[in-house]
């Protein structure tokens, strides 16, 4: 006799009931998922009502001059001007984990730039991350920070950009991996990570408030000096704890109060010196930060540089990084020998350097960073501190990439990261090889 239940048996009825329940559960889950996606999309596309009124000015020339200053503070040329190219005509490459973005043309050309934009359009782009058409902008344009800019400062920036020479050049399309080129996905990202809103007054009397406004808003320091998650966002609460700069192989150190990896041992004067001259008692700006100093922070007024220092010194230390693993003693001996042969004349046997021309390696936050890319790149490629008004003829470091093999570079970098009180962990020859590939 067959043991298979018939459709009319109790077991068959129970099976049909269970199947219907399973289908209902799946449908309910799909509806919940669809509702969640719709809610995120709504949050991503929503308009923010706090669009401030156009700020009239009794002196248009003064507004333009202040806008030019703000453009330097925000380092707008870094993304909107190719080296040696026409100012603000776009084309600068911005490599990321999702592909390469290209800064658009923001000259006042009416066809290929922003000449047809109104002041309200410009404010909407900064404050809400939306083009005049309503299209969502990619957060490679840091509207996630620019949303904190006041309407008065946005209008000053707009007034200045209206005065630059127009350039008729279409913006280069972004080169993004699939599926990131599908712009509607931005609505979901924005629903998770973006909320527009001005948080501080640009003209606040308090140094602390002014510093926060510059660091968190126009200066968009968090764009480099914070870790990013797998979706390229800097989740709330991460602070300025330092982060790897995608596509470049450099590390932006922590700007919080951590005494080993942040600014805990720096004074306000040290911070001001680095911002204004590119050098300080604790090291020199190099790599991407060198470009920021050259194109942006050296032009800060003394008051704004001091306000930034006051704010950064108010930040507490973040969580301590995981303990580093030092290379074996043999590797340290090899690194010491390479250091003695190539480095000691400038950086001294005790790693203290010689003034600001040859910076100290002991206690240098670029040396002790969790990621060793900065030191590796400097050893391989050398470089100069930025030329600034306060340091017009900076001393440079010669490249050793053609002299030293990967093993020797790994050994000497491990040595400087773990000597004179430094305890930052070892470096492998594979990391050096990867840095060579990135540096070209």
- Extract the tokens encoding 70: 């703000």
Taking residues 313-342, report their average pLDDT: 81
- Extract the tokens encoding 161: 């950009």
Taking residues 10-18, report their average pLDDT: 67
Q: Which CATH number fits domain 327-439: 1.10.760.10, 1.10.150.130, 1.20.1050.10, 1.10.8.60?
A: 1.10.760.10
Taking residues 380-397, report their average pLDDT: 91
- pLDDT for the residue numbered 426: 92
Taking residues 325-344, report their average pLDDT: 84
Nearest-CA neighbor of 269 among 309, 319, 239?
309
Contacts of 39 (CB under 8 A, 6+ apart): 191
For the chain, what are the domain ranges?
60-193, 201-321, 327-439
Nearest-CA neighbor of 172 among 288, 80, 76?
80
Cα separation, 393 vs 357, whole angstroms: 10
- Phi/psi at 351 (5° precision): 70, 15
Taking residues 7-29, report their average pLDDT: 68
Of the two residues 359 and 77, the one the predictor is more confident about is 77
CATH superfamily of 201-321: Cytochrome c-like domain (1.10.760.10)
Q: Is 174 annotated as a binding residue?
A: no
Tally of residues, the chain: 440
Q: Is 346 annotated as a binding residue?
A: yes
With 80 as the cut, is the pLDDT of residue 283 above it?
A: yes
Q: Is 224 annotated as a binding residue?
A: yes
Q: Is 343 annotated as a binding residue?
A: yes
With 60 as the cut, is the pLDDT of residue 323 above it?
A: no
Which of 54-58, 284-288, 409-413, 425-429 has the largest mean confidence? 409-413
- In order of 6, 231, 317, 341, 396, the CA distances from 372 in angstroms are 70, 23, 21, 21, 20
- pLDDT for the residue numbered 31: 60
pLDDT digits (tens, 9 = 90+) for 194-253: 988 765 555 556 999 999 999 999 999 999 999 999 899 987 767 899 999 988 889 999
Cα separation, 78 vs 222, whole angstroms: 16
Of the two residues 16 and 407, the one the predictor is more confident about is 407
User: In this structure, what DSSP letter does residue 108 have?
Assistant: S
Q: Is 127 annotated as a binding residue?
A: no
Q: Is 199 annotated as a binding residue?
A: no
pLDDT above 70 as % of the chain: 84
Mean pLDDT estimate for the chain: 88
- pLDDT for the residue numbered 1: 47
pLDDT above 90 as % of the chain: 71
The domains spanning 201-321 and 327-439 adopt the same CATH topology: yes
User: In this structure, what DSSP letter does residue 389 have?
Assistant: T
pLDDT digits (tens, 9 = 90+) for 34-88: 656 566 555 655 677 665 555 555 688 999 999 999 999 999 999 999 999 999 9
Cβ atoms of 158 and 119 within 8 Å: the answer is yes
In DSSP terms, 251 is beta-bridged to 244
Taking residues 7-23, report their average pLDDT: 68
């Amino acid at each position: 006799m067959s043991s298979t239940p018939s459709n009319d048996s109790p077991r068959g009825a129970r099976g049909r009931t269970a199947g219907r329940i399973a289908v209902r559960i799946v449908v309910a889950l799909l509806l919940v998922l669809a509702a969640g996606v719709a809610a995120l999309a709504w949050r991503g596309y929503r308009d923010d009502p706090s669009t401030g009124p156009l700020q009239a000015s009794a002196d248009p020339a003064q507004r333009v001059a202040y806008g030019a200053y703000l453009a330097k503070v925000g380092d707008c040329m870094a993304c909107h001007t190719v080296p040696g190219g026409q100012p603000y005509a776009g084309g600068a490459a911005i490599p990321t984990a999702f592909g390469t973005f290209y800064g658009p043309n923001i000259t006042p050309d009416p066809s290929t730039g922003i000449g047809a934009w109104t002041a309200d359009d410009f404010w909407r782009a900064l404050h809400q991350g939306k083009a005049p058409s309503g299209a969502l902008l990619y957060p490679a344009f840091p509207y996630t920070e620019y949303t904190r800019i006041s309407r008065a400062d946005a209008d000053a920036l707009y007034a200045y950009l209206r005065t630059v020479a127009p350039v008729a050049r279409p913006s280069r399309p972004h080169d993004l991996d699939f599926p990131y080129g599908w712009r509607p996905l931005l609505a979901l990202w924005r629903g998770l990570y973006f909320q527009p809103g001005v948080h501080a007054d640009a003209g606040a009397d308090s140094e602390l408030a002014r510093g926060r406004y510059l660091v968190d808003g126009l200066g968009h320091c968090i764009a480099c000096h914070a870790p990013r998650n797998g979706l390229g966002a800097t989740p709330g609460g991460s602070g300025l704890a330092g982060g790897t700069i995608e596509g470049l192989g450099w590390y932006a150190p922590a700007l919080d109060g951590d005494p080993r990896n942040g600014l805990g041992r720096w004074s306000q004067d040290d911070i001001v010196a680095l911002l204004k001259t590119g050098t300080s008692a604790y090291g020199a700006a190099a790599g991407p930060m060198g470009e920021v100093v050259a194109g942006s922070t050296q032009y800060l007024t003394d008051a704004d540089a001091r306000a930034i220092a006051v704010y950064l010194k108010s930040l507490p230390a973040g969580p301590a990084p995981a303990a580093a693993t030092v290379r074996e003693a043999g590797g340290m001996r090899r690194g010491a020998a390479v250091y003695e042969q190539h480095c000691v004349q400038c950086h001294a046997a005790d790693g203290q350097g010689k003034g600001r021309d040859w910076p100290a390696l002991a206690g240098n936050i670029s040396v002790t960073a969790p990621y060793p890319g900065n030191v590796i790149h400097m050893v391989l490629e050398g470089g100069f501190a930025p030329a600034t008004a306060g340091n017009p003829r900076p001393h440079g470091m010669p490249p050793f990439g053609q002299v030293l093999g990967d093993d020797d570079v790994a050994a000497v970098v491990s040595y400087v990261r773990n000597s004179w009180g430094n305890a930052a962990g070892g470096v492998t020859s594979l990391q050096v090889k990867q840095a060579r590939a990135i540096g070209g």
